A and B are shown apart, each in its own frame.
Chain A
Amino acid sequence: MVALTNHLLNRHALGQADKILKQAEISLAKRQPGPAINELKWLLKYDSENEKAIFLLGQGYYDSKEYSAALKQFSRISKGSQYYGPSLLNVAKSCLQTAQMEQAEEALENYLVLYPSALSARIELQWLYFNQFRIREAKHLLRQGLLHAENPYPLLYHLLHLEFKPPIAQESIRLLQRINQDAPDQSSVLMALGYCHWKLGKTDQAIALIEESLSTEPFRVESILIAADFYLELGEKEKCAALLKPPQSYPAEIQELLQQDDRWHWIQSRLLFQNHLQNESLKEIQTAIELKPFEIKYLQYCGTIFQAMGQLEKARQFFNRAKTLSLSHRELYKIVSSGVLKQPTKTDCLRISQYCENLGNIDQGREWQKIAAALQ
Chain B
Amino acid sequence: MGSFKYRFQFQNFILIPIILISVTGCTEQNPPVPKSKQSTSLPKTTLPPSISKNTNLPGPFLFSSIAKESGIDFTYYGNPSPQHYMVEQNGGGVAFLDFDCDNQLDIFFTNGSHFDHPAEQAGKIHHLYRAASLSPESLHYDNVTIPAGLNRSDFGMGVACGDYNNDGFVDLYLCAFGKNSFWENNGDGTFSDITDQTNTRDERWGTSAAFADLDGDGDLDLYVTNYVEYNRQDPPCYTSLKSQRIKISCGPIGRIAQPDVLYQNLGDGKYSNVSVQSGIHKPAAGKGLAVQIVDLDDDGLLDIFVANDTTDNFFFHNSGNLTFEERGLIQGVAVGDDGMPQSSMGIACADFNRNGHFDLLITNFENAPNDFYEQIDTGIFQASNSRMGLDTTSRPKLSFGTIAADFNLDQWPDLFIANGHIWDLGRDKTEHEYEMTQQLFANQSGTRFLDVSENSGPYFQEKFLGRAVAVGDIDNDGDADLVTSHEMKPAALLRNDSPKSGKSLRLKVIGIQDARQPLGTSIKVVIGGKNQIFNIPSGGSFQSSHDSRVIVPVGKATSIDSLTISWPGGTKEHWKNIPIHEELILLQGTAEE
Contact = CB atoms under 8 A, between A and B. Distances in A.
Interface of A: 96-97, 99, 101, 124, 127, 130-131, 161, 165, 167-175, 178-179, 182, 198-201, 203, 232-235, 270, 274, 296-297, 299-301, 303-304, 307-308, 310, 312, 315-316, 319-320, 322-323, 325-326, 329-330, 333-334, 337-338
Contacts of A334: 253-254
Contact of B339 (A127, A270, A323): A323
Contacts of A308: 376, 380, 382
A198 B6 CA distance: 22
Contact of A338 (B10, B242, B254, B376): B254
Contacts of A101: 4
A170 B5 contact: no
Most B CB atoms within 10 A — which of A171, A270, A319? A171
B430 A171 contact: yes
Given A127-B5, A329-B340, A330-B340, A171 B432 contact: yes
Nearest to B447: A235
Interface stretch (B227-235, B297-305, B392-400, B477-485): B392-400
Nearest to B10: A165
A329 B47 CA distance: 48
Interface stretch (B112-120, B170-178, B328-336, B511-519): B328-336
B329 A96 contact: no
B431 interface: yes
Nearest to B251: A337
A318 B9 CA distance: 33
B530 interface: no
Contacts of A201: 392-393, 395-397
Interface string B233-257: 0000000011000000000011000
Nearest first, the 10 closest Cβ-Cβ pairs linking A and B are A300-B339, A165-B10, A322-B339, A296-B339, A170-B431, A297-B338, A170-B432, A201-B396, A171-B430, A304-B382
B368 to A, nearest CB: 11
Contact of B241 (A171, A325, A333): A171
Contacts of A232: 386
Most A CB atoms within 10 A — which of B10, B380, B432? B10
Interface residues of B, number: 45
B383 interface: yes
A171 B430 CA distance: 5
A265 B475 CA distance: 52
25 contacts: A127-B6, A131-B4, A168-B8, A168-B367, A170-B425, A171-B8, A174-B430, A178-B4, A200-B395, A201-B393, A233-B386, A233-B391, A274-B387, A296-B338, A297-B338, A300-B338, A304-B382, A312-B380, A316-B330, A319-B332, A326-B335, A330-B341, A334-B253, A337-B254, A338-B254
B62 to A, nearest CB: 22
B37 interface: no
B7 interface: yes
B448 interface: yes
Interface string B1-42: 101111111100000000000000000000000000000000
Contacts of A329: 340
Most A CB atoms within 10 A — which of B1, B380, B391, B393? B1
A323 B336 CA distance: 11
Most A CB atoms within 10 A — which of B3, B254, B338? B338
B341 to A, nearest CB: 7
A99 B1 contact: yes
B335 A167 contact: no
Interface string B535-562: 0000000000000000000000000000
Nearest to B385: A233
A184 B339 CA distance: 38
B427 interface: no
B296 to A, nearest CB: 15
A232 B426 CA distance: 30
A325 B339 CA distance: 9
A308 B380 CA distance: 8
Given A170-B367, A171-B432, 16 more contacts: A101-B4, A161-B10, A168-B367, A169-B396, A169-B431, A170-B426, A178-B1, A199-B396, A201-B392, A233-B391, A307-B382, A312-B330, A312-B380, A315-B332, A323-B329, A326-B340
A359 to B, nearest CB: 12
Given A101-B4, A161-B10, A203 B382 contact: no
B337 interface: yes
A131 B242 CA distance: 13
A116 to B, nearest CB: 21
**Interface residues of chain A: helix, strand, loop or mixed (majority):** helix
A301 B332 CA distance: 10
Contact of A326 (B6, B339, B366, B389): B339
A59 B242 CA distance: 29
Contacts of A330: 340-341
A319 B4 contact: no
Contact of A131 (B8, B10, B376, B426): B8
Contacts of B5: 96, 124, 127
A130 B382 contact: no
Contact of B332 (A203, A307, A310, A326): A307
Contacts of A179: 4
B213 to A, nearest CB: 30
Nearest to B389: A235
A316 B332 CA distance: 9
A130 B448 CA distance: 33
A173 B432 CA distance: 11
A99 B4 contact: yes
B8 A200 contact: no
A337 B242 contact: no
A170 B429 CA distance: 9
B396 A170 contact: yes
B8 A304 contact: no
B264 to A, nearest CB: 31
A322 B391 CA distance: 21
B431 A304 contact: no
Contacts of B340: 296, 326, 329-330
Contacts of B386: 232-233, 270
Given A131-B6, A326-B335, A315 B341 contact: no
B365 to A, nearest CB: 12
Contacts of B329: 319-320, 323
Given A304-B382, A334-B254, A175 B10 contact: no
Nearest to A304: B382
B4 A175 contact: yes
Nearest to B432: A170
Contacts of A312: 330, 380
A310 B382 CA distance: 12
Contacts of B430: 170-171, 174
Most B CB atoms within 10 A — which of A173, A174, A233, A330? A233
Contacts of A319: 329-330, 332
Nearest to A181: B1
Contacts of A304: 332, 337, 382-383
Contact of B341 (A301, A320, A326): A326
B8 A167 contact: yes
B509 to A, nearest CB: 33
B473 to A, nearest CB: 31
A175 B429 CA distance: 10
Contacts of A326: 335, 339-341
Nearest to B428: A171
A103 to B, nearest CB: 12
Contacts of B448: 235
A124 B5 CA distance: 8
Nearest to A178: B1
A64 to B, nearest CB: 15
Contacts of A170: 366-367, 396, 425-426, 430-432
A301 B395 CA distance: 20
Interface string B422-458: 0001100111100000000000000010000000000
A234 B392 contact: yes
